[in-house]
Amino acid sequence: MAAKETETIIKLKSITKRYGFGDAESFALHNFDLTVKRGEFIMIMGPSGCGKTTLLNVIGLLDKPTSGDYQLQGKSVARISARKKARFRAKEIGFIFQNFNLIPNLTVIDNVCLPLLYSGIRKTRRLKMADTILERFHLREREYYMPHQLSGGQQQRVAIARSLISNPSIILADEPTGNLDSRASHIVMEELRDIHALGNTIIMVTHNPALTTYATRVIHMLDGEIDTDIKTVDDRDLPRPGDPEKISVRILPKKDNQIEIAVDAQTNVVVTGKNVIAAQPEESKKTEKKSAKTKKSDDKKKTIKVEKRDEEKK
Ligand SMILES: Nc1ncnc2c1ncn2[C@@H]1O[C@H](COP(=O)(O)OP(=O)(O)OP(=O)(O)O)[C@@H](O)[C@H]1O
Ligand SMILES: [Mg+2]
């Protein structure tokens, strides 16, 4: 199949972020160039103070660079009005932080609803949307808990659910597993991998080299600049949203032994998931056999690419 050009979603050109003046002058980012394609899963690493959080804040429109040009989906951010920027941020960008940033005196479900507060969506609908997404994260029975009644891993999953409720296409995560043990980290990373497989772009800061296996690109920063930049997946192989053969997905209800059940709406083949590879097996015996076999092997590493190849073979 002929590969389409992968869309550039973020382009930073000579971005500088300076703090202080004169003797106190320091650069959190220095002539920073970065081009991000839609569907990349980028991990940013580097020593404390090298500018990782500053970079995420600039990309997420929370902070303005001192100089340089930032193009977001082809538009220069400097020319977008503050109101449009706020709207874009609310709709297209999801933030996940190291310390979860949940509001302590709001219930889990109210926390998840927060990004929709000014969306014009009615409260009953907002609650329904939060309920649906919390079910996906296996947190439905804790909807009316307060954040302090949850474990760290559960709190971070609530924070991820909150960051996804407005269906953003860019997810910015600043050490999302920094406060979690390795098991909880793994669960959070599996969620992020699934979100990425749906064609979303993820930029994540981490200090943990073991997590880079989830990335399609690893950037090491040093003193506000890129030190190394390694892509492990070709741009043409990145997951894309909206490709009719792939990313039109719907979430099926949870069934016995099945978790994480998103299938391509056209082919009914699972395009992302943990244990379940094929859904609705009654439609095809072949698919059913494949499903059982794959379930047994508990192949957690299946990705869209693998699924697609299987499809093409048939
Ligand atoms: N508001 C600020 N005023 C002055 N200097 C700042 C400010 N925010 C960040 N800096 C400086 O900018 C540099 C980059 O900070 P940043 O928070 O981006 O680092 P980081 O790579 O995220 O570090 P860490 O791994 O510790 O989170 C640091 O030297 C920091 O002291
Ligand atoms: Mg930081």
The per-residue pLDDT for 257 is 40
Residues contacting ligand 1 via CB (< 6 Å): 19, 26, 28, 46, 48-54
Q: Is residue 260 within 8 Å of 194, Cβ to Cβ? A: yes
Ligand nearest to the CA of 50: 1
Are 217 and 41 a contacting pair, CB within 8 Å?
yes
What is the DSSP track for 241-279? TT-TTTT-EEEPPP-TT--SEEEETTT-BEEEESS--B-
- CA–CA separation, 183 vs 181, rounded Å? 6
CATH superfamily assigned to domain 38-61+80-222: P-loop containing nucleotide triphosphate hydrolases (3.40.50.300)
Structure confidence at residue 198 (pLDDT): 87
Q: What is the pLDDT of residues 17-30, one digit of tens each?
A: 999 988 889 999 99
Q: How far is the CA of 51 from the centre of ligand 1 (A)?
A: 6
**Residue segments in the chain with a per-residue pLDDT below the cut of 70:** 1-4, 242-314
Alpha helices in the chain (DSSP H): 52-59, 82-92, 108-113, 123-136, 152-164, 182-197, 285-297, 304-313
**What is the reported pLDDT for 275?**
34
Å from CA of 49 to ligand 2 middle: 7
Question: What pLDDT does 100 receive?
Answer: 86
Residue nearest to atom 30 of ligand 1 (CA): 49
Specify the domain boundaries for CATH 3.40.50.300 within the chain.
Answer: 38-61+80-222
Q: How far is the CA of 254 from the centre of ligand 1 (A)?
A: 43
Q: Which helix (H) or strand (E) holds 229?
A: strand 225-231
Atom of ligand 1 nearest to the CA of 50: 21
Residue with tokens 């950037």: 219
Q: Which atom of ligand 1 is nearest to the CA of 56?
A: 18
For the stretch 183-228, pLDDT in tens is: 888 888 988 998 899 889 999 999 999 999 999 999 999 999 999 9
Q: Which protein residue's CA is at the shortest distance from atom 16 of ligand 1?
A: 51
Question: Closest ligand 1 atom, CA of 20?
Answer: 4
Q: pTM, whole model, 2 decimals?
A: 0.77
Question: Which SS3 state, helix, strand or coil, does residue 222 take?
Answer: strand
Supply the pLDDT for residue 274: 38
pLDDT for position 136: 83
Nearest protein Cα to ligand 1, atom 1? 19
Nearest-CA residue for ligand 1 atom 14 is: 51
Mean pLDDT over each residue of the chain, to the nearest integer: 79
How confident is the model at residue 4, as a pLDDT? 60
